[in-house]
Each structure stands twice: as C-alpha cells, then as structure tokens.
Amino acid sequence: MAVNDKKYYVMRYSSVGEGCPESLIGFFNCETFEWDPFELDPKRLGIKHQYCLKLSSLDMRIDELDFDFYQLGGEYVSRKFLSVCDDLGVSYKAIPLDLSWRGKVRKGEFFIFLPGESIAALDKERSVYELSRDLESGRVLESSLYPGSAPIDNIDLFVVSAEVEGDLFRCQETLELFCSERFISYAGGLKGLSFLEVDENYKYDPWSELNEL
C-alpha cells in the first residue's frame, strides 16, 4: 500500500552513461566560498568570485565530460539541467564553475547548483523517525541549520507531508535533494541522474552509511 499520495524522489548522481565521470576530485581556486553549505536563501547572494575546480584526476578527456548533474558534497549541473528547472519554475542559484584538467579548461558550461527552497517535508504524525538527542541528558537537540526544528537521526518510514509542493527542493530532514514525478518527466534527456522513490522501502540512516565506510 502506498504511503504517499504524491510521489517524491531523492535525486542522486549516477556515473552510468557516456560523459559521466566516476568522480570530479580536485582543488578549488579559493579557501572559502561565498555561501553556506546549505544556504537558506541563495538567491540573495551577490557572487563576486569566479570559481574553478582544478581536477586532480579524471577517467576521461576533459572535452568528453557531458554530464547534466553531478553530486559529491555539492551539486554541479549543466545548462540543460537549469533549462528544465526554468521550465518548471524551480527556484535556484546557479554559480558558474570552470573545470580544469591538464591545462585545458571548460568554461561557461557547468554551474554550482544551490536549490532555492529548503522544505520540511516529513509528516511528523504519520512517519516513523528518531530525533537527535544529547547523549548525556537525553534532551532533544536543536538544528543549527533550521532554527526551531530538531535534527533527525534516522527515519524508518518517511511519509511526505500533504502540504509539500514544488518540483525540486532540499529536504530539511535529510538534506537531500527531493524532486517530483513531474520533474522526472521533464528531465528524461538529462545525464547523470538517478532517482530513489520515497516510499515504504525508503530509509534514512546516515550513521549506518558512515559505519559502512
């Protein structure tokens, strides 16, 4: 039996497909960025710096890179990805990102993607989850990212709130990108995307994932 009336999916990177690298690891041309990792209102940002990622390894020639979505720590996207967002009215901030490898540079083709919305998507009455607590006192902790809310240690059953709207946003409870079925229908030609449905089989347990590393 379906637990969610509206289907939502976790958006993740997949290296399956021509032009999608196994990884984009390297060094940025800066020590700090002009935004926070989970920026709440990225559209207010006035970006002054030009960002470049100098790759330290790449499993293809740089001119063969042809992904539309990449994710490792942050999200990097193509103009095609942004075009889909524009078609759906998705709020975001796109920061130009140059990619450099062995003396060659790809300019004006890729962007650091900051979603414009962060939504508390969890139906707290119907979901099964565990709040983060202080180990000594047992007191429920307060989120440093979203004032007035509590961070969550794990979710065994994620029921999406009926109040949730939008086609692409950051889920406050898991910090992952969530997208709608409508977004997926528009994104059929994009490379580098995979989708995990938030249904009765979906679990959120970051501590378990860390223990497996």
Phi, psi (5° rounding) for residue 50?
-100, 120
In this prediction, residue 209 carries a pLDDT of: 57
Please, which residues have CB within 8 angstroms of residue 195's CB and are 6 or more apart in sequence? 9, 10, 11, 12, 179, 184
Q: Which residues of the chain have pLDDT under 50?
A: 212-213
Global pTM?
0.92
Burial of 3 (0-12, 13-18, 19+ CB in 10 A): middle
Q: Are 39 and 45 in contact (CB under 8 A)?
A: yes
Closest among 128, 129, 150 to 140, alpha carbons compared: 150
pLDDT the model gives residue 1? 56
Sign of torsion over alpha carbons 15, 21, 26, 30: negative
Return the bridge partners of 120, or none.
none
Q: Over the stretch 115-153, which tens digit does the pLDDT of each residue have? A: 999 999 999 999 999 999 988 888 999 888 898 899 999
The beta strand positions in the chain, using DSSP E, are 8-13, 25-28, 51-57, 69-72, 74-78, 92-101, 104-115, 118-119, 128-131, 152-157, 168-171, 177-180, 193-197
Q: How many CA atoms lie less than 13 Å away from 94 in the CB half-sphere?
A: 19
Alpha-carbon distance of 184 to 6, in angstroms, equals 13
pLDDT for 213 equals 44
